[in-house]
Amino acid sequence: MLKTAPSQADHDNGMSKRVPIDHRTFSGQPVAIGSAADLADADLTADPRRVMFDPETGLPGEALLRDRLEQALARALRDNHSLGVLVIGCEGLAPALDELDLDAAKLAWAEVTERLLQLTRADNTTARLDDGRFAMVLARVRTPDDAALVARRVLQALEAPVTWNSQRLALDAVVGVAFHPDDGQTSEALLHAAAAGLRQARANRCGYRFRGDG
C-alpha cells in the first residue's frame, strides 16, 4: 500500500499512513500504483507498462526500481543529502514454497509484501528484484546508522512466519545495506553493495550487513 505524506512523528519513527493509490512516474511518465492485492489481482496484461511491475506481488519491478533510484540520487546530489538501499532476501521461504501449490506461494509473497509496505514511507520505494529478492530505496537517511535502523525494522517485521493451512513457513530474512555516498555514487554501485552485504549476512548467519562488515 502506498502512503500519505508522513507527519513529523511519522518521519521520526520511519512509518507513515497508507492510502490506496499513489501516482508516480517512470522516466517522466505517470504510473498509478495501488495496493499489493489490487495490483496482483489486476489485469496487468492490458497495460503495456506491466513490465514495470512484479506480477506476483504488484510491486515495482527492477526496471522501475532503478529509475526511482536514479531520481533519488539526482535529488540527493541536488539537495546535498544521503540515501540508503536495502536488498532483502527471505532465505527460508523459497525452498518451502517449492513443495507447496501456487496459492500458497501467492499468499506468502503477498504477506511479505504487506509487511514491507507497512515500513515504506511516501518518499521511499519498495520493489521486487528480477531474482525474487526485495529492495528498498530510502530516499533520505542522514547516516549509515539510520539505514541500519530501517534494516532492523525490516527484520523485525519479517520475524514471524507465514501461516498456510496450519503450516508455519519461516522467512529467515537477511538484509544487505548500502549507504550513499559511502558505498557508491551510482544506482548500479549501490545495488551491488547492498547485494554484497546480503551475501555477507547470509554467510555469517546474521540479520543484516553492510558490504564492508566482517
The pLDDT of residue 51 is 67
Domain boundaries, the chain: 2-210
Q: Which amino acid is at 42?
A: A
The pLDDT of residue 103 is 79
On the CB side of 44, CA atoms within 13 Å amount to 23
Q: 178 forms bridges with which residues in the sheet?
A: 85
Taking the chain (214 residues) in runs of 10, the rounded mean pLDDT of each run is 35 39 38 40 45 90 95 95 96 78 83 95 93 93 96 96 85 96 95 96 92 72
Q: 199 forms bridges with which residues in the sheet?
A: none
Residue 140 to residue 147: CA distance in whole angstroms:
9
Chain-centre distance for alpha carbon 63 = 13
The pLDDT of residue 212 is 74
Residue owning grid cell 499513489 = 22
β strands within 59-200, DSSP E: 83-90, 125-128, 134-138, 162-164, 167-169, 173-180
CATH class of the structural domain 2-210: alpha beta
Query: Can you say whether the dihedral through the CA atoms of 198, 150, 134, 67 is positive or negative?
Result: negative
- Residue 21's Cβ-count burial label (10 Å; 0-12, 13-18, 19+) is exposed
